[in-house]
Structure 1
Amino acid sequence: MTNKIFFTPGPSELYPTVAKHIQSALEDKIGSISHRSQQFKDIYAHAEAELRTLLQLPDNYEVLFLSSANEIWERAIQNTVEHESFHLVNGSFSKRFYQVSGELGRKATKYEAPFTQGFDAASIHVPATAELVALVQNETSSGASMPVAEINKFREKVSPDTLLFVDAVSSLPIPAFDFNQVDSVYFSVQKCFGLPAGLGVWLLNNRCVAKAEALQAKGVSLGSYHSIPAMLSKAKANQTVETPNVLNLYLLGKVVEDMLQKGIETIREEAATKAQLIYEYIKVSKNFSAAVQEQAHRSVTTIVANTILPASEVNKLLAPYNMAVGSGYGDYKEKQIRIASFPAHSVEQVQALVEKLQELVG
């Protein structure tokens, strides 16, 4: 058994109550139940209801459960884009979504900012022909974030039929989205929801559903099992089209219930406190410097710092103290560290990490 605390950007530290819920799941043999049973339908309905409450999701939104956020990229393009998508790119994951659209035969265009830089909505022209605009609230690879107020500005920049999709993979439920200003938000559970990997959650409104149905009526292929109409027909009955990750869905419902008991405002206040602790340390550190220069564009959940000491050496120093941070992404693997500050991480744990880094590397 390890006592290590994982400040890695996903998979990351499990939410504190997960072990208890896993034990309950084992005792109730959740991993053996049929995904067509009433017991599973109750698990599905509970997870969806808790999410709707936590996120204050409008009634015109649907909740679909898939295997990952990466899969959602493909399903989004297949189901809602006939010809063209437009992507804001400022890191590896936003770039990959852009590439997926091209790989699926669509015309994919982009507005690209340098790695670790954010976006100013006023300076971005969105093509009138774009059917989907891919925004990134929190770029997990670079630590660059887009404030919700900037995201909301895009509604006035696009044509009436254009769909706005938001990547909140490593930030939800921290951002307080105005879901009336966007059409879809998606995330994975192994980051801010503190669960094992293997479950993606797709929040999409009736405009996305209508677009998929319109394309289907025109004879456009939406894929097979994972077309929006097919998934939605099962979701209405609290089911999925295939055998899902039942255990993770059960755990999601339980953890979101725990979050509701704690209170979303408390969780968001703690997120701001933890981010401030980390950024204030980075500001005076002899070894680290903030990778994202513009303060308004700095993530509060995935803090990225340039490092003089290679990232692997930082983790070697932390290992005896049962702590681990994330290395940089891709070409920045040894040049940066990424510190996850998710709801699973307490203020006290973040404070302890900051103090240990100050002691070890200055």
Structure 2
Amino acid sequence: MTRHFNFCSGPATLPTAVLERARDEMLDFEGRGLSVMEMSHRSEAFIAVAERAEANLRELMQVPDNYSVLFMQGGATQQFGCVPLNLLGKGGRGNYLDTGIWSQKALKEGRHLGEAHMVASSEGNGYTAAPGQEALSLSEDAAYLHYCDNETIGGLQMDYVPQVETPLVCDMSSSILSRTVDVSKFGVIYAGAQKNIGPAGIVIVIVRNDLLDQARRETPSMLNWKAFADNGSMLNTPATYAWYLSGLVFEWLKEQGGVDAIEKINRRKAQKLYEAIDNSGFYSNPIAAANRSLTNVPFVLGDETLNKAFLAESEAAGLLTLKGHRSVGGMRASLYNAMPEEGVDRLVAFMQDFERRYG
């Protein structure tokens, strides 16, 4: 069996050790004679799986006791609608910081479900740098400020946590668990699982408990954070296997030394790739140095006519899914927690060899 290096932005690479353990437990989980995916979500065995996953996530992120951790469905995109539905029940407007495509999608949904105010935008610099704290202009009736910590497509990452009086809501889909964060600074954190957590099918929502009574009356139960909190994230049958696999990833991350340890590895991986780009006259990255993403590194070739050759040869070399998003073009390498440092070393060596041959 050959495992290649998968640089996909999501669904993304998973730790090999996790996949091997899931394989070994596929047919017979804990000697029970059935798979986790066949198990009742109400059974003691699965409830133990769920509780262990939540406890490990709380430990990894040092989630305070006055926060609920929810395992929901629908992905981060569904949370674009859940945010205004759950936070505008007592009036006010949602405020949004625009740093790229995912920020824009959240803003669009906010406008669809109520009034929304844009506090600042990166549009003026072509989404290559984040607006500074001084540029943020909240509305007087702000109910929350929403922003995306890391724009997966554009490769722009916030270099600060906004300082505001209103609850802070953050989409951390492509950066959660990649570096340490102070959860107490946020009212809500949400993240789709398929990048740094596990397979697609789960979205994690971490919400401060005092915000659980802010929902609009018309909020459907399946979109209501309090309903999920009150029912242990089992308002309906959850995505049990994705929940189980996410729990295995949390255990794997603890074995690596936790978020502090993985952040050091991630910074080393990103530095290697950015240095290879910056030291080249053949590749370039458009993002301002302060806002370069730790997890999603876009780059373009000096000669775009070589894109097809680059992608074909990189795939033949076992370096998969390097094509950039259709909206920005070029290439993109996603360096999530499960991407081993060897994969980045192989990518850098390939890029240097490609440049020697075609540059």
Q: TM-score, normalised by structure 2?
A: 0.90
Residue 21 (1) aligns with residue 21 (2): yes
Judge conservation of contact 2:93–2:116 (CA < 8 Å) in 1.
Answer: yes
The code of the aligned residue for 1:39 comes to: A
**Mapping of residues 1-362 of structure 1, within 5 Å:** 3-23=3-23, 24-28=25-29, 29-67=35-73, 68-82=75-89, 83-114=92-123, 115-147=127-159, 150-151=160-161, 153-155=162-164, 158=165, 162-193=166-197, 195-212=198-215, 215=216, 220-235=217-232, 239-264=233-258, 265-292=260-287, 294-310=288-304, 311-333=307-329, 336-362=330-356
How far apart, in 2, do the equivalents of 1:348 and 1:21 lie? 22
How far apart, in 2, do the equivalents of 1:154 and 1:281 lie? 34
How far apart, in 2, do the equivalents of 1:284 and 1:325 lie? 23
Judge conservation of contact 1:132–1:164 (CA < 8 Å) in 2.
Answer: yes
Task: Report % sequence identity.
Answer: 25
How far apart, in 2, do the equivalents of 1:206 and 1:64 lie? 12
How far apart, in 1, do the equivalents of 2:146 and 2:309 lie? 36
How far apart, in 2, do the equivalents of 1:121 and 1:313 lie? 42
How far apart, in 1, do the equivalents of 2:63 and 2:196 lie? 18
**What's the Cα RMSD here?**
1.8
Instruction: Report how far residue 110 of structure 1 moved.
Output: 4.5
SS of 1:331's equivalent in the other structure is coil
SS of 1:250's equivalent in the other structure is helix
Return closer, same or farther for 1:185/1:75 CA change in 2, 3 Å cut-off.
same
Judge conservation of contact 1:9–1:340 (CA < 8 Å) in 2.
Answer: yes
SS of 2:299's equivalent in the other structure is strand
How far apart, in 2, do the equivalents of 1:276 and 1:322 lie? 22
Judge conservation of contact 1:136–1:168 (CA < 8 Å) in 2.
Answer: yes
Q: Deviations over 1:94-143 (max 9, x none)?
A: 11000011122333434211323222112211112111211221111111
SS of 2:6's equivalent in the other structure is strand
How far apart, in 1, do the equivalents of 2:53 and 2:26 lie? 14
How far apart, in 2, do the equivalents of 1:313 and 1:187 lie? 34
Number of equivalenced pairs? 341
The code of the aligned residue for 2:318 comes to: N
How far apart, in 1, do the equivalents of 2:98 and 2:2 lie? 38
How far apart, in 2, do the equivalents of 1:245 and 1:203 lie? 18
Instruction: Report how far residue 18 of structure 1 moved.
Output: 2.4
Residue segments in structure 1 that go unaligned for 5+ positions in a row: none
Q: Which one is further off, 250-259 or 18-27?
A: 18-27
SS of 1:210's equivalent in the other structure is coil
Instruction: Report how far residue 290 of structure 1 moved.
Output: 1.3
Judge conservation of contact 2:196–2:336 (CA < 8 Å) in 1.
Answer: yes
